[in-house]
Copies of this chain bind each other. A is one copy, B any other.
Amino acid sequence: MGRKNRAPDQIRELTLERRFTENVPGSVLVRGGKTVVLCTASLEDGVPPFLMNTNRGWLTAEYSMLPGSTKSRKARDGRRPYPDARSLEIGRLIGRSLRAACDFSKMPGRTIWVDCDVLQADGGTRTLSISGAMVALTDACKEAERRGWLRGWPIVSPVAAISAGIVRGEALVDLDYSEDSNAEVDMNVVMNDKEEFVEIQSSAEKGTFNGGQLESMLGLCSQSIREILELQTKVLAD
Protein backbone atom coordinates (compact mmCIF):
# COMPACT_ATOMS: atom_id res chain seq x y z
CA MET A 1 0.00 0.00 0.00
CA GLY A 2 1.03 3.65 -0.16
CA ARG A 3 3.70 4.77 -2.55
CA LYS A 4 6.91 3.08 -3.52
CA ASN A 5 9.63 5.30 -2.19
CA ARG A 6 8.05 7.35 0.54
CA ALA A 7 5.77 6.72 3.47
CA PRO A 8 2.34 8.38 3.14
CA ASP A 9 3.30 10.95 5.77
CA GLN A 10 6.80 11.61 4.44
CA ILE A 11 7.58 14.77 2.52
CA ARG A 12 10.11 14.88 -0.30
CA GLU A 13 13.67 15.93 0.47
CA LEU A 14 13.51 19.66 1.14
CA THR A 15 16.42 22.10 0.92
CA LEU A 16 16.45 25.86 1.40
CA GLU A 17 19.51 27.59 -0.09
CA ARG A 18 19.80 31.17 1.19
CA ARG A 19 21.60 33.94 -0.73
CA PHE A 20 21.25 32.08 -4.04
CA THR A 21 21.48 35.46 -5.77
CA GLU A 22 22.89 38.71 -4.37
CA ASN A 23 21.11 41.69 -5.85
CA VAL A 24 18.10 41.48 -3.52
CA PRO A 25 18.11 41.18 0.28
CA GLY A 26 16.21 37.87 0.33
CA SER A 27 16.97 35.11 -2.18
CA VAL A 28 16.21 31.46 -1.48
CA LEU A 29 16.40 28.53 -3.85
CA VAL A 30 13.98 25.98 -2.48
CA ARG A 31 13.98 22.37 -3.69
CA GLY A 32 11.32 19.84 -2.74
CA GLY A 33 12.03 16.62 -4.62
CA LYS A 34 12.33 17.70 -8.23
CA THR A 35 10.41 20.93 -7.81
CA VAL A 36 12.70 23.97 -7.75
CA VAL A 37 11.56 27.52 -7.01
CA LEU A 38 13.59 30.71 -6.73
CA CYS A 39 12.03 32.95 -4.06
CA THR A 40 13.28 36.52 -3.83
CA ALA A 41 12.27 39.37 -1.54
CA SER A 42 12.96 43.01 -2.43
CA LEU A 43 12.40 46.15 -0.37
CA GLU A 44 10.65 49.24 -1.63
CA ASP A 45 10.37 52.60 0.03
CA GLY A 46 6.64 53.33 -0.29
CA VAL A 47 3.28 51.59 -0.08
CA PRO A 48 0.35 51.05 -2.48
CA PRO A 49 -2.16 53.94 -2.77
CA PHE A 50 -4.75 52.35 -0.44
CA LEU A 51 -2.23 52.47 2.44
CA MET A 52 -0.91 55.99 1.89
CA ASN A 53 -1.11 58.10 5.00
CA THR A 54 -1.61 55.12 7.27
CA ASN A 55 1.17 53.91 9.47
CA ARG A 56 1.37 50.53 7.89
CA GLY A 57 3.62 48.61 5.52
CA TRP A 58 2.68 45.98 2.95
CA LEU A 59 3.75 42.80 1.18
CA THR A 60 2.90 41.87 -2.41
CA ALA A 61 3.70 38.51 -3.99
CA GLU A 62 3.88 37.35 -7.59
CA TYR A 63 4.27 33.81 -8.93
CA SER A 64 5.23 32.59 -12.34
CA MET A 65 6.52 29.45 -14.03
CA LEU A 66 9.47 29.72 -16.39
CA PRO A 67 8.68 28.42 -19.87
CA GLY A 68 11.21 25.59 -19.49
CA SER A 69 9.93 24.50 -16.06
CA THR A 70 7.47 22.01 -17.51
CA LYS A 71 7.88 19.06 -19.88
CA SER A 72 5.64 20.67 -22.42
CA ARG A 73 6.89 24.27 -22.73
CA LYS A 74 4.63 26.78 -20.99
CA ALA A 75 3.90 29.95 -23.00
CA ARG A 76 5.64 32.86 -21.33
CA ASP A 77 3.63 35.27 -19.21
CA GLY A 78 4.08 38.61 -20.88
CA ARG A 79 4.10 37.30 -24.41
CA ARG A 80 0.34 36.70 -24.26
CA PRO A 81 -2.38 39.33 -24.01
CA TYR A 82 -3.29 38.31 -20.48
CA PRO A 83 -1.38 36.97 -17.52
CA ASP A 84 -2.17 33.39 -16.66
CA ALA A 85 -5.18 33.22 -14.29
CA ARG A 86 -3.64 30.34 -12.31
CA SER A 87 -0.45 32.35 -11.77
CA LEU A 88 -2.39 35.37 -10.53
CA GLU A 89 -4.40 33.16 -8.16
CA ILE A 90 -1.29 31.55 -6.69
CA GLY A 91 0.42 34.93 -6.31
CA ARG A 92 -2.58 36.09 -4.28
CA LEU A 93 -2.42 32.98 -2.08
CA ILE A 94 1.29 33.48 -1.39
CA GLY A 95 0.71 37.14 -0.55
CA ARG A 96 -2.14 36.42 1.90
CA SER A 97 -0.17 33.64 3.58
CA LEU A 98 2.95 35.71 4.14
CA ARG A 99 1.00 38.76 5.27
CA ALA A 100 -0.57 36.58 7.96
CA ALA A 101 2.95 36.12 9.35
CA CYS A 102 3.62 39.83 9.72
CA ASP A 103 2.64 42.83 11.78
CA PHE A 104 2.83 45.68 9.29
CA SER A 105 2.56 48.40 11.89
CA LYS A 106 6.22 47.58 12.54
CA MET A 107 7.26 48.59 9.00
CA PRO A 108 5.33 51.80 8.29
CA GLY A 109 5.51 53.13 4.75
CA ARG A 110 7.54 50.27 3.26
CA THR A 111 6.66 47.37 0.96
CA ILE A 112 8.22 43.94 0.60
CA TRP A 113 7.93 42.45 -2.89
CA VAL A 114 8.08 38.65 -2.97
CA ASP A 115 8.68 36.87 -6.28
CA CYS A 116 8.40 33.12 -6.68
CA ASP A 117 9.63 31.85 -10.02
CA VAL A 118 9.37 28.13 -10.68
CA LEU A 119 12.51 26.80 -12.37
CA GLN A 120 11.32 23.19 -12.39
CA ALA A 121 7.81 21.93 -11.70
CA ASP A 122 7.01 18.52 -10.25
CA GLY A 123 3.97 19.23 -8.07
CA GLY A 124 3.64 21.37 -4.96
CA THR A 125 4.99 24.58 -6.49
CA ARG A 126 2.64 26.85 -4.55
CA THR A 127 3.27 25.38 -1.12
CA LEU A 128 7.03 25.18 -1.72
CA SER A 129 6.91 28.83 -2.80
CA ILE A 130 5.35 29.80 0.52
CA SER A 131 7.80 27.79 2.59
CA GLY A 132 10.77 29.20 0.69
CA ALA A 133 9.50 32.77 0.49
CA MET A 134 9.06 32.81 4.28
CA VAL A 135 12.84 32.51 4.59
CA ALA A 136 13.53 35.12 1.89
CA LEU A 137 11.08 37.43 3.63
CA THR A 138 12.93 36.99 6.91
CA ASP A 139 16.23 37.92 5.26
CA ALA A 140 14.60 40.97 3.72
CA CYS A 141 13.32 42.03 7.14
CA LYS A 142 16.86 41.76 8.50
CA GLU A 143 18.01 44.13 5.77
CA ALA A 144 15.10 46.45 6.56
CA GLU A 145 16.25 46.42 10.19
CA ARG A 146 19.81 47.24 9.15
CA ARG A 147 18.46 50.23 7.21
CA GLY A 148 16.56 51.47 10.24
CA TRP A 149 13.17 50.98 8.57
CA LEU A 150 11.57 48.99 11.39
CA ARG A 151 9.76 49.85 14.62
CA GLY A 152 10.19 46.39 16.07
CA TRP A 153 10.51 42.96 14.49
CA PRO A 154 7.60 42.53 12.02
CA ILE A 155 7.43 38.74 11.81
CA VAL A 156 5.07 37.59 14.50
CA SER A 157 4.49 34.03 13.46
CA PRO A 158 6.37 32.30 10.62
CA VAL A 159 4.33 30.19 8.21
CA ALA A 160 4.97 27.13 6.08
CA ALA A 161 2.84 25.13 3.68
CA ILE A 162 2.40 21.66 2.24
CA SER A 163 -0.04 19.77 0.03
CA ALA A 164 -1.87 16.53 0.62
CA GLY A 165 -4.27 14.44 -1.39
CA ILE A 166 -6.31 11.29 -1.64
CA VAL A 167 -4.76 8.93 -4.18
CA ARG A 168 -6.54 5.65 -4.82
CA GLY A 169 -8.37 6.17 -1.55
CA GLU A 170 -5.30 6.81 0.54
CA ALA A 171 -4.22 10.08 2.11
CA LEU A 172 -0.69 11.09 1.05
CA VAL A 173 1.30 14.19 1.90
CA ASP A 174 3.39 16.34 -0.52
CA LEU A 175 2.17 14.96 -3.85
CA ASP A 176 4.53 15.00 -6.79
CA TYR A 177 3.18 15.71 -10.27
CA SER A 178 2.35 12.11 -11.11
CA GLU A 179 0.57 11.57 -7.77
CA ASP A 180 -1.25 14.87 -8.16
CA SER A 181 -2.50 13.85 -11.61
CA ASN A 182 -4.03 10.75 -10.10
CA ALA A 183 -5.43 12.39 -6.96
CA GLU A 184 -9.16 12.34 -6.32
CA VAL A 185 -8.71 15.32 -4.02
CA ASP A 186 -5.98 17.94 -3.77
CA MET A 187 -5.46 20.13 -0.71
CA ASN A 188 -3.05 22.91 0.20
CA VAL A 189 -2.58 23.94 3.80
CA VAL A 190 -0.72 26.89 5.28
CA MET A 191 -0.08 26.97 9.05
CA ASN A 192 1.97 29.03 11.44
CA ASP A 193 4.27 28.08 14.30
CA LYS A 194 1.38 28.19 16.79
CA GLU A 195 -0.30 25.26 15.00
CA GLU A 196 -2.99 27.59 13.71
CA PHE A 197 -4.40 27.42 10.21
CA VAL A 198 -3.73 30.33 7.88
CA GLU A 199 -5.17 28.94 4.62
CA ILE A 200 -6.91 25.72 3.65
CA GLN A 201 -7.72 25.13 0.01
CA SER A 202 -9.21 21.84 -0.91
CA SER A 203 -10.60 20.98 -4.27
CA ALA A 204 -12.10 17.77 -5.64
CA GLU A 205 -12.49 18.09 -9.35
CA LYS A 206 -12.19 14.41 -10.04
CA GLY A 207 -13.85 13.14 -6.88
CA THR A 208 -15.21 14.37 -3.59
CA PHE A 209 -14.19 13.82 0.00
CA ASN A 210 -15.81 13.30 3.34
CA GLY A 211 -15.07 14.61 6.80
CA GLY A 212 -12.83 11.71 7.69
CA GLN A 213 -10.66 12.17 4.66
CA LEU A 214 -10.43 15.88 5.38
CA GLU A 215 -9.24 15.10 8.87
CA SER A 216 -6.60 12.66 7.61
CA MET A 217 -5.22 15.18 5.15
CA LEU A 218 -5.19 17.97 7.73
CA GLY A 219 -3.35 15.69 10.13
CA LEU A 220 -0.68 14.83 7.58
CA CYS A 221 -0.21 18.46 6.65
CA SER A 222 -0.08 19.64 10.19
CA GLN A 223 2.75 17.26 11.04
CA SER A 224 4.75 18.06 7.90
CA ILE A 225 4.42 21.79 8.39
CA ARG A 226 5.96 21.43 11.86
CA GLU A 227 8.97 19.76 10.22
CA ILE A 228 9.27 22.49 7.61
CA LEU A 229 9.05 25.24 10.20
CA GLU A 230 11.91 23.58 12.05
CA LEU A 231 14.00 23.41 8.91
CA GLN A 232 13.33 27.12 8.24
CA THR A 233 14.50 27.99 11.74
CA LYS A 234 17.63 25.89 11.37
CA VAL A 235 18.53 27.37 7.99
CA LEU A 236 17.98 30.91 9.27
CA ALA A 237 20.30 30.26 12.20
CA ASP A 238 23.28 29.66 9.90
User: Measuring CB to CB, which residues of chain A are less than 8 angstroms from any residue of chain B?
Assistant: 20-24, 27, 34, 36, 38, 40-42, 44, 62, 64, 66-71, 73, 76-89, 91-92, 96, 99-100, 113, 115, 117, 119-122, 157, 187, 192, 194-205, 208-211, 214, 218
Contact = CB atoms under 8 A, between A and B. Distances in A.
B38 A64 contact: no
A36 B34 CA distance: 21
Top 8 nearest A-B pairs by Cβ distance?
Answer: A40-B68, A77-B78, A78-B78, A196-B208, A81-B81, A85-B88, A42-B73, A21-B120
B195 A210 contact: yes
B200 A202 contact: yes
Contacts of A27: 68
Candidate in A27, A88, A89, A208 with the most chain B CB atoms within 10 angstroms: A208
Contacts of A214: 197, 200, 218
Contacts of A83: 78-79, 82
Given A23-B69, A210-B195, A201 B200 contact: yes
Contacts of A66: 38, 40, 115, 117
A205 B24 contact: no
